[in-house]
Structure 1
Amino acid sequence: MKSMTPFRFSLSSNDIQTIGGDDSFWLGGQLVHLQSGVTYIDIDREIADNYMFNKTINMDETSIFSILELKKEIWFGGENTLLVYNEKQDFWRSYNLRLGGGVSRATSMIDAGDDVWVGSSRGITILNKSNKKPILSKVEEYFNNIYIYDMAVGIWIGTETGLFLYDQTKRMIQEYTTYGYKKKDVTFPLKYIDYTAFTQDSRQILAANRSGVLKFNFMDRQWSNAVDPAIFGGLEIKAMALHKNIVFIANENGIVQYDMKKNLMDVFNYSFIGQVNDMYIKGRKIWLGTTEGLISYRYK
């Protein structure tokens, strides 16, 4: 058994939904009590700062489902709400974020030049970075009232209806089957819906649904089958993380650590972990944002 280590400092939420950042990271989670908020963690210096909703000016209470770190700001996507933190000025601001009727959750956000794309449970909205105002586009119409599970730099879009890409030059939405090249031995999933998670590095991007994990190589623009569904039981994938040939897959049964080159796997399904909602790799450690808090272990 690998040594799983719970983070020992107090957190603003023990039900962590998302991890964001680069060298250090931010945590956001479910709004479960009056002491909820967001947490900043510097692992190297062992520092944790909590920004509590009930003690911070201009910070509306909301569950947090996505985090995006920009050059000068940190964006937090919540329920009908966008929180923005200006690091230099140490200043928070809340914005109304509604897509369609009812409650919309900002499930993912990506930096797209002058704009930020926000995926939600009710579609996609594109916001101007400077004024945070929505930009009307055909993208919003195309994905209206469609659940957006995840998005990735590129722009890759995983939805309840399938996997799509957006060509920023041509301003065109296309299905993944029309993009790149596929060898004869590569099979696209028979069930092409519910692409729930992405993970990527400079060489490749992985896209997952219950029928398997596809890989697209950025260098030769080739598709390949990265992970057979038997590896993760064909269950819905909540999150993935990638280090070279090793992919970490989180589903309702725990975590699978799979070496795509050697075809070797480890499974971690300890009950104390809870449900893993997001993962973050730094150095030799992987950090798990779970319903039981923040947990780490050394994977190499």
Structure 2
Amino acid sequence: MFHKSLTLFLILTVISHVNSQPDNRYDPFDWVLYRQLGEITSITKGFAYIYIGTESGGVVRIQRIGHNLEEPLTTAQGLKSNFISAVHFDRHTGTLWITADDYIHSSHTREGNWYINNIDEWGLPLRTKITRLGSSQNYIWVQTSSGYIKLDHISGIFLGTYTFPDEEYIHWSSSSQFPNFETDKVNEYSMSDGWLAVGSGAVSPNGRNLRVTVFYEGSEGDVVLGLADGTIFVGDNRLKFLEPLTAGLGNNDVQFMLDKKAFIIGGRFAKQTIGFTYFDPRREIMEIIGYDDHINLTAGPYYCAVRAGDEIWYGGNSMIAVYDEKDDFWRTLDETRGFSGQIITDMEADSEFVWIASSSGLTRINQSSKRSNPIGFEKIFNHIFIYDIELVDNQLWIASDYDLTVVNLSNERVLNFKQIGSLGNMAGIEDVLSGFKVLEQFKDEIIVSSKQGIWSFDYNTQTWSELVDASVFAGREIFALARFKKYIFLATNDGFIRYDIKDRFIRDYHYEFLGQIHDMKVDKKHLWLGTSNGLLKFKWTKD
């Protein structure tokens, strides 16, 4: 009987271990997910890192020496959820323990290879929640809303429930559920960058009063303070000085990534959305451009952005936010400026005008006057959903569901795509093409998605050619695409595809943490994905 029970336990343990990994082909940080953090919930100190649990952004990792950000631990590393109620580092074993929703994770590598236990299997009262984690010399202790749980600190085996622990010395990690600091303690510290500690909170440089959720003072001088909006302060207890650190995005549903090396990120609006995000991945620097911190910047969903001279235009719902980088000034344009459409789907800019594509048509806005300045052909697209536009060599490409139009802005000539250059191997099927949704310029080509395949128009040869046969994406809807040399990446309504145009090799990616992909950017090392789950970085050359 003992041997049967032991065998069953080992089988369940192995299954739990295998299921904890997204894909064993990858190293832990080949996939990295960046999200909005929400409230800081828990803090613990390891050998090399400080681990910070968050409400929606997984576990933030900060180097103890230098206080630099490292990649976070999220569902991309195998966690069951990005909602972290407790983190704890057991110094006796070197194991990191993480509670994500109703699952307790443990890992000796502290990066992946998680052993996962579901607390629902322990016979606890209904809706029991874990509030903090701690450890003694031989055990892991879990405090819940209904009592205490003892676990073996090596195997994680469940050893029983207790009304109170049967050990006196337990080292508990800091938790937002058990604030163990006094207001006067926080006020002993000075804050940089215009922040001010006031009572049980902190006031931002823009006057927002934010609650302190967790305060951690380590035995070796490390000090970390977490706020309700996800702001983290790090310092030491000798200098009594704290510096703010932004480790998450301003929103979770990323619709666009502007620029190539350092991104400006925005997306849909939710209850906890703070604003846009500036992210420089080379230096691991994040800055949030908060809606509440800037006059004339209207909160809301934003779907696209474009640079127009010294300005950045952000397209939202029946409005456009314009930021003047030179004068550091925001303004919001509404439909009284002459554009229409509840959803601004895309924008393109030349030296004088910004073209606005929307769910109900196309508009040209003068950059100086910020008012509509139509040519005349725009009325052709009244009440038509425009999915994408691309401005190439003074030609405006316009993609709608059943038509692909090219407008020569020099002579205002409006042409159907079939009238541009030579049809090449498109000949014979050009009349059945439909579902034009994504346009992307690549070198001297413009790439077009349709239900019947992915096509390329070469400006040098003035010829159409098929890049990807429709069988590659098997009827799935294309939402975004990006190309690097012979590889093309296609975001669909079910993950994404990497296709080798030369060798015709297909690799399909389906992971729950991907969410719905809205935008893509690729370089020689990484693929960046703007998704409904946040911003993803993928080391695509690993495959």
Give the TM interval when normalised to the shorter protein: over 0.9
* Residue 104 in structure 1 maps to residue 360 in structure 2: no
Q: Residue 144 of structure 1 is aligned with which of 370, 376, 382? A: 382
User: C-alpha distance in 2, partners of 1:122/1:111?
Assistant: 19
* Counterpart residue identity of residue 180, structure 1: G
* Counterpart residue identity of residue 272, structure 1: F
Cα gap change, 1:101 to 1:19, in 2 (>3 Å): closer
* 1:182 counterpart residue number: 423
Q: Which runs of 5+ in 1 are unaligned?
A: none
Q: Residue 370 of structure 2 is aligned with which of 102, 124, 132? A: 132
Instruction: Say whether the 8 Å CA contact 1:241–1:281 is kept in structure 2.
Output: yes
* Residue 299 in structure 1 maps to residue 540 in structure 2: yes
Q: Residue 391 of structure 2 is aligned with which of 142, 153, 156? A: 153
How far apart are 1:264 and its partner, in Å?
A: 1.1
Q: Residue 38 of structure 1 is aligned with which of 273, 276, 279? A: 276
How far apart are 1:91 and its partner, in Å?
A: 1.7
Q: Residue 210 of structure 1 is aligned with which of 424, 428, 451? A: 451
Equivalent residues in 2 for 1:1-300 (5 A)?
A: 1-2=25-26, 3-7=30-34, 8=72, 9-97=247-335, 104-154=342-392, 155-183=396-424, 186-300=427-541
Instruction: Quote the RMSD (CA, aligned, Å).
Output: 2.0
* Counterpart residue identity of residue 281, structure 2: I
User: C-alpha distance in 2, partners of 1:153/1:279?
Assistant: 18
Cα gap change, 1:149 to 1:284, in 2 (>3 Å): same
Q: Deviations over 1:69-120 (max 9, x none)?
A: 2331111000011011112222211111379998511100111331111100
Cα gap change, 1:47 to 1:210, in 2 (>3 Å): same
SS at the partner of 1:196? coil
Q: Deviations over 1:145-179 (max 9, x none)?
A: 10010111221111123111110111011110000
User: C-alpha distance in 2, partners of 1:153/1:297?
Assistant: 29
Return the TM-score normalized by structure 1. 0.94
Instruction: Say whether the 8 Å CA contact 2:322–2:332 is kept in structure 1.
Output: yes
* Counterpart residue identity of residue 421, structure 2: G
User: C-alpha distance in 1, partners of 2:403/2:337?
Assistant: 20
User: C-alpha distance in 2, partners of 1:113/1:193?
Assistant: 32
SS at the partner of 1:142? helix
SS at the partner of 1:256? strand
Instruction: Say whether the 8 Å CA contact 2:341–2:358 is kept in structure 1.
Output: no
Cα gap change, 1:103 to 1:135, in 2 (>3 Å): closer
User: C-alpha distance in 2, partners of 1:78/1:299?
Assistant: 31
User: C-alpha distance in 2, partners of 1:150/1:99?
Assistant: 21
How far apart are 1:126 and its partner, in Å?
A: 0.4
Q: Deviations over 1:234-257 (max 9, x none)?
A: 222100111122111001111001
How far apart are 1:203 and its partner, in Å?
A: 2.2
User: C-alpha distance in 2, partners of 1:207/1:37?
Assistant: 31
Instruction: State how many pairs are aligned.
Output: 300
* Counterpart residue identity of residue 407, structure 2: Y
Structure with greater proportional helix content: 2
* Counterpart residue identity of residue 224, structure 1: S
Cα gap change, 1:101 to 1:82, in 2 (>3 Å): closer
Q: Which runs of 5+ in 2 are unaligned?
A: 1-24, 35-71, 73-246
User: C-alpha distance in 1, partners of 2:488/2:272?
Assistant: 37
Return the TM-score normalized by structure 2. 0.53
User: C-alpha distance in 2, partners of 1:185/1:57?
Assistant: 51
Cα gap change, 1:185 to 1:13, in 2 (>3 Å): closer
Cα gap change, 1:211 to 1:38, in 2 (>3 Å): same
* Counterpart residue identity of residue 166, structure 1: V
Report the more deviating stretch, 123-132 or 89-98: 89-98
How far apart are 1:35 and its partner, in Å?
A: 3.5
User: C-alpha distance in 2, partners of 1:198/1:205?
Assistant: 7
Cα gap change, 1:111 to 1:31, in 2 (>3 Å): same
How far apart are 1:10 and its partner, in Å?
A: 1.1
Instruction: Say whether the 8 Å CA contact 2:491–2:517 is kept in structure 1.
Output: yes
Instruction: Say whether the 8 Å CA contact 1:80–1:98 is kept in structure 2.
Output: no
* Counterpart residue identity of residue 216, structure 1: F
How far apart are 1:202 and its partner, in Å?
A: 1.7
How far apart are 1:51 and its partner, in Å?
A: 1.2
User: C-alpha distance in 1, partners of 2:249/2:300?
Assistant: 16
Q: Which has the higher contact order (CA 8 A, sep 6+)?
A: 1
